[in-house]
């Protein structure tokens, strides 16, 4: 890894890292603050008047709305959180290789004495750091502000949520980095990564009503993201850990291998 490149890459992405993290802190704090007002049984009665299809969109079919996990999954950590963190990581990762090659700045970097492998590993390290910042911004405020609003999340639940959320982000970021190492220009890898997530989300949605769409489930990273269950104390399927970890690792390795062999100007 190159420390100069690491500092430089963090510096160039400082604005987006700050605003996405700051936004997630505010969102988490706001959702924690609202819980005593709109959570619990009254909230469940209100939500359950909605059509099942609408509830499914927000991930509200897997957990009880009366529970803390059901509240957070439906209002925040289900669809909205995925959209926010996926946007942040896709924007960064798509630009990391393909965007810089198209913009010409990769030519400047590669004219310096830094190997392609070190460059690729550093860009992956920044993606990991970015994901850590987003995970901390998402979940730490719930622990910090929670006790003031009748939310007492056990530490082991917090760490499971943190680790599983982080791994979800690494899978999305790693997959996009792999696409970025293949293409030229940030548009294509960004669009493909976003498109795959939308397709998986639709498959997850449809699988609530149709068995045909369950075909995707074993490899659907969207289906496995059930933060409500974690908050309610349920364990995460081992298959989910393996899937997220596998996608993140294989994609990251593939990104390094492809970037080392491709034309980079």
Partner 1 sequence: MDVISTSGLTKYYGKARGVEDLTMAVPQGAVYGFLGPNGAGKTTTIRCLLGMLKPTAGSSSVLGERVTLDGAALRRRIGYVAGEVRLYEKETGRWHLDYVAGFRGTKGPLTAELLERFDLDPSRRVKELSKGNKQKLALILGMAHDPELLILDEPTSGLDPLNQEAVYSVIEERVAAGRTVFLSSHVLSEVERVCDKVGIIRSGRLVAEEGVKSLLGKRLREVEVTFADPVEASLLGELPGVDSVVAVSDQSLAARVRGDAIDGVLKRIASRKVSDIRIQHASLEDVFLEFYRGDDATHANDEGGEVR
Positions in the binding site for partner 1 (CB under 8 A) = 2-5, 7-8, 11-12, 103-105, 107-108, 110-118, 260-265
Q: Could you tell me how far CA 233 lies from the centroid of its own chain?
A: 21
Shortest approach of partner 1 to residue 190 CB, angstroms?
20
Q: Which is nearer to partner 1, 148 or 261 (CB)?
A: 261
Complex with partner 1: residue 206 or 254, whichever CB lies closer: 254
Of 118 and 132, nearer to partner 1 (C-beta) is: 118
As given in the structure block, the two tokens for residue 2 are 């190159």
Calpha distance 155→197 (Å, rounded):
30
Distance of CA 257 to the CA centre of its chain: 24
Least distance to partner 1, CB of residue 100, Å: 9
* SS3 per-residue string spanning 167-231: HHHHHHHHHHHHHHHHCCCCHHHHHHHHHHHHHHHHHHHHHCCCHHHHHHHHHCCCCCCCHHHHH
Q: Which is nearer to partner 1, 102 or 128 (CB)?
A: 102
Give dist(CA 169, CA 85) in Å, integer: 7
Nearer to partner 1, 4 or 210 (CB): 4
For the bound state, the minimum distance from the C-beta of residue 248 to partner 1, rounded and expressed in Å, comes to 24
Among 41, 95, 94, 93, which Cα is nearest to 64's? 41
CB 2 within 8 A of CB 112: no
Q: Would you say 53 or 103 has its CB closer to partner 1?
A: 103
Find the shortest distance in angstroms from Cβ 155 to partner 1. 39
How many Å is the Cα radius of gyration of the chain?
A: 19
Q: How far is the CB of 6 from partner 1 (least distance, A)?
A: 10
Could you tell me the smallest distance in angstroms from the CB atom of residue 265 to partner 1? 4
Using an 8 Å Cβ cutoff, are 236 and 160 in contact? yes
Residues 6+ apart with CB under 8 A from 209: 52, 53, 56
What is the smallest separation between the CB atom of 41 and partner 1, expressed in angstroms?
Answer: 51
Q: Given the complex with partner 1, which of 41 and 111 has the nearer CB atom?
A: 111
Alpha-carbon distances, residue 260 vs 114, 176, 256 (angstroms): 12, 17, 6
């Amino acid at each position: 890894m190159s420390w100069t490149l690491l500092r430089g890459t963090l510096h160039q992405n400082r604005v987006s890292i700050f605003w996405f993290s700051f936004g997630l802190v505010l969102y988490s704090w706001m959702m924690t603050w609202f819980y005593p007002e709109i959570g619990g049984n009254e909230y469940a009665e209100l939500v359950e008047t909605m059509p099942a299809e609408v509830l499914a969109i927000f991930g509200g079919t897997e957990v009880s709305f009366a529970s803390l996990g059901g509240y957070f999954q439906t209002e925040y950590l289900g669809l909205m959180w995925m959209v926010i963190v996926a946007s942040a990581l896709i924007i960064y990762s798509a630009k990391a290789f393909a965007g810089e090659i198209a913009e010409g700045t990769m030519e400047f970097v590669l004219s310096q004495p830094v190997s392609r492998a070190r460059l690729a590993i550093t860009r992956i390290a920044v993606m990991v750091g970015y994901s850590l910042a987003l995970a901390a911004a998402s979940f730490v405020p719930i622990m910090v502000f929670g006790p003031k609003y009748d939310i007492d999340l056990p530490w082991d639940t917090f760490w499971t949520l943190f680790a599983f959320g982080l791994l979800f982000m690494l899978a999305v970021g790693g997959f996009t980095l792999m696409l970025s190492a293949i293409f030229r220009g940030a548009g294509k890898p960004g669009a493909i990564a976003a498109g795959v997530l939308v397709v998986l989300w639709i498959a997850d949605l449809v699988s609530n009503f149709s068995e045909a769409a369950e075909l995707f489930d074993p490899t659907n990273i969207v289906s496995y993201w059930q933060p409500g269950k974690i908050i309610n104390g349920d364990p995460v399927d081992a298959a989910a850990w393996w899937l997220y970890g596998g996608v993140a690792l294989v994609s990251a390795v593939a990104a390094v291998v492809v970037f080392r062999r491709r034309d980079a100007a």
